[in-house]
Chains A and B, each alone.
Chain A
Amino acid sequence: MNIIDRRLNPQGKSLANRQRFLRRAKEQVVKAVREASGKRGIQDIESGDKISISTGGVREPSLHRAGSGGVRDYVVPGNKQYVEGDTIPRPEQGGGRGNEGSPDGDGEDDFRFVLSREEFLDIFLEDLELPDLVKQKVKQSESHSLTRAGYSVSGSPANLNLVRTMRNSLSRRIALKRPKASEMTELEEEIAALEESGADPDRLQELRHALERHVFRARRIPFIDPIDVRYNRFETVPKPIAQAVMFCLMDVSGSMTEHMKDLAKRFFMLLYLFLKRRYRSVDIVFIRHTHEAKEVDEETFFYSTETGGTVVSTALEEMKRIVAERYPDNEWNIYAAQASDGDNMSSDNARSAALLRDQILPLCQYFAYIEVAAEHNMGLSALGRETELWRTYKLVQRPDLPLAMRRVRSRREIFPVFRDLFAREKAGA
């Protein structure tokens, strides 16, 4: 009897099967994830969750009898009162009475399972793309990694490639006809035998000469020659680290309700999540503004209240200053998202537009303007009343500028709007 401890064996043997399954059920999984993410809060989006998909694409059909119809006999245990000829009213469902049909996948409308966080995010953010990914800067203090790059004739002994070396050695020995060790021993044995018996001295002489020649040759042609030796060669490749900074701009004046802030927050979080998966390091800068702008931490940004007027250009100025100070645009990918209810002092409009067009947009990879509105006043916006800021930005907007504008009214719209902004452009479109 053997006892083998398999507990330390590599885990995740079924990973490949799981990937195959997810790929197979892709359509349904994507749909289920979209639905699930619509329902829950942004905070929970990062955690994996149980999702259920319809069994359509992942059904494993087999030829088996239908669950109803025809004549069936069952033998079941536990008779208490029945005698032959008794009748029992038919139960609601035919199944479950010792029916021996194929149980697998039968009668199962939904297939439920748990997606891990990684899988969930992958699917969640699938086919979204960051605009203008070109500017992935290689920073000077970059790390390097080694990659295999063929073979070389010099190197450290640790990198000796035995297979290559022996292959070269073998072909050289064959080409130069180096006598084999077995041939030599054969000769030696024959000589020894002849010496012992003493017969046929001519033959003995001949053999001795042959052996001498062999030994000479073997000495001249080494088993392994320096020219045979090969080493694995490695090259250092600089690894680009793409880095991004994300500016969150928000109007926190009195007119912004909690609901609006909540919408903005959700949008910022999505953007952050998305950037994090595309760039190894993502910095976030929070700038809030009333009639003056300030860089703050996240807590203050979302939760502290401030009163004052609304001057958008101050926030843009602040952003410009921070970029100049800390995030040179040749090293960083700069993204900005601005959330506002659309109010602005009318005297500031021209200045904001000019700032945006001439200073901010050239720096940015992407500038998204999200106009949040109260959920209940759908009617007004639907009638097309445009806000001050919307009109201002609209003037700036040009197809060649990375400026996107969307309106969001309810939580449900956040994700569609987000997808809409970042959806991968269709080929040729």
Chain B
Amino acid sequence: MTTVIAKPEGLLYQGADWDYDKIKRVYDAIDTIASKEMGLSTYPNQIEVITAEQMLDAYSSIGMPLMYKHWSFGKHFARDEMLYRKGLRGLAYEIVINSSPCISYIMEENTMTMQTLVIAHAAFGHNHFFKNNQLFLQWTDAEGILDYLEFAKSFISQCEDRYGLPAVERVLDAAHAIMNQGVHKYPKKRPLDLRLEQKRERERQEYQEQTFNDLWRTVPKPTGSRQGSRSASERRKLLGLPEENLLYFLEKKAPRLEHWQRELLRIVRHIAQYFYPQKQTKLMNEGCATYTHYTIMNRLHEKGMIDEGAMLEFLHSHTSVVFQPEFDDPRFSGINPYALGFAMMQDIQRICENPTDEDRQWFPDIAGRGDGMGALREAWANYRDESFVLQYLSPHLIRKLKLFSVRDDSEDPYLLVDTIHNERGYRQIRRMLARQYDLGYLEPDIQVVDVDLAGDRKLILNHRVTNGVLLDEADAKAVLRHIANLWGYEVQLVEVSSVSEAVLKEHAVTAPSAALT
């Protein structure tokens, strides 16, 4: 690097304007603090400067730099654009992508202080989390994702050329509808290698083309009463039922799909899987990034590298990010993950460095161990939101936030305050808050339970109802229609109480009138 690095005591920059030299200087200063003092380890960074319109673009394609084409992205773009233009909603300051190198987008209209904050937040905070958190390591392939998306994009546009837009759209619509039900929740034997995925698909296609023999068409089919005699349990076992990954099941077992349609389902499934860890770690991820930028900015200030003005600007935007309105505030819309995450991280640091007797009793393993950063790094590596809250939410913080739990039973005419921030309530509040972050609990438990391939081929899904909360009927019906489009035959969804096994409700859609192609 040819630029002269400012003296450690000197200011890194002054004023609001940014240029590449300043960004480089700031990056290096932050890098020193992050890796030497905080012990963060990150993927190599790539910082990309973009305009507001490009930011909107990135928004609409779920934050990825490249994405296949689908009308729903256009819809999101249209809405975001309108909200932005009318000034109803600001844009995010940054978007960061879990890939190696880790790409962070920063907006051109940010001030230099905002760029510094964003670099600390995204390029170090999020980046460290992506690289070290167990979930991401287990589930995502940071090196392969961009190449895979490139492949997905070109594969889908090839399909559009070959089979026509409407046909491709129909499959993608259906796949998107069950995207949430398209993830494997338990780890496989080996981590996913997305590069290999591409190669496999290419090879599969080549093999099929090479070994194509029209004669097979003429081979008489077995007259097959063989299958019908199988018992129901044997049948289910052969199909790998019950199966909770609907996309996977349809991709492998739907009888009337073409090869390319299965590949589309596979692409959507891989993307869903890629985002699955992000959904489970929103609180921690944002908390980690917020804690990181807060620590780094303060250190920069302590070292005299940024001036008071910059610090005030930083504090202003930091406090608005971690602002948590109370439940009766009109601005309240759930618990702010930035606020809770940041508060918990700070609390952990406090417990490590300044524990009270209560902390020693609740957290004997970390209370007073002194090394707050170390404890945080362990937490960032090994937990997801649910387990993190369950493990680390302290009575101190419950009191500080004045958390209380409300029970809403539709049979009662009122809401009941169940527990509050007192001795009796801590554990229960902690358990219930943790459950609010448990995807396995938040998302309805839906499984494919049976299908008679030899008979009418009706696909039967089960929704195991907890606490008597049924599915949204209109949406369920629409999704079933999509599933039927993929499956090709009748589809039925039965809502079963998980307590009494009683059938609470049934939805069914008939077979689609025409095959998908």
Contacts and interface: CB of A to CB of B under 8 A. Distances in A.
Contact of A62 (B105, B108, B179, B324): B179
Given A61-B479, A63-B479, A79-B421, A97 B327 contact: yes
Interface string A75-103: 11111101111111110001011111010
B470 A65 contact: yes
A76 B53 contact: no
B4 interface: no
B238 interface: no
B161 to A, nearest CB: 13
A78 B46 contact: no
Contacts of A89: 413-415
Interface string B67-87: 001111111011101100100
A68 to B, nearest CB: 6
B82 A62 contact: no
Given A4-B49, A72-B469, A64 B444 contact: yes
Interface string B22-62: 01100100010000000000001111111101101100110
Interface string A42-74: 000000001000000011111111111111111
A84 B407 contact: no
B60 to A, nearest CB: 6
A88 B414 contact: yes
A2 interface: yes
A22 B60 CA distance: 15
Nearest to B103: A4
A86 to B, nearest CB: 4
Contacts of B472: 64-67
Contacts of B469: 65-66, 69-72
A80 B472 CA distance: 34
A17 B417 contact: no
Contact of B78 (A11, A13, A71, A113): A113
Contact of A9 (B54, B402, B410, B419): B54
B254 to A, nearest CB: 18
B242 interface: no
Nearest to A65: B469
Contacts of A112: 79, 82
A140 interface: no
Interface string B429-442: 10011011000001
Contact of B442 (A3, A50, A100): A100
Interface in B444-467: 444, 446, 463, 465, 467
A100 B409 CA distance: 16
Interface in A362-384: none
Contact of B82 (A4, A9, A65, A114): A114
Contacts of A78: 325-329, 332, 401-402
B229 interface: no
A216 interface: no
B374 interface: no
B470 A70 contact: yes
A18 interface: yes
A342 B23 CA distance: 75
Contacts of B181: 63
A1 B27 contact: yes
| 9 closest residue pairs by CB, A with B | A78-B326, A21-B74, A17-B74, A70-B469, A113-B78, A70-B468, A61-B478, A20-B71, A76-B327
5 contacts: A14-B77, A25-B75, A50-B82, A83-B420, A90-B415
Given A16-B69, A84-B417, 15 more contacts: A20-B71, A21-B72, A24-B169, A61-B177, A63-B178, A63-B475, A72-B409, A73-B406, A75-B404, A76-B335, A78-B327, A83-B417, A87-B415, A96-B333, A102-B180
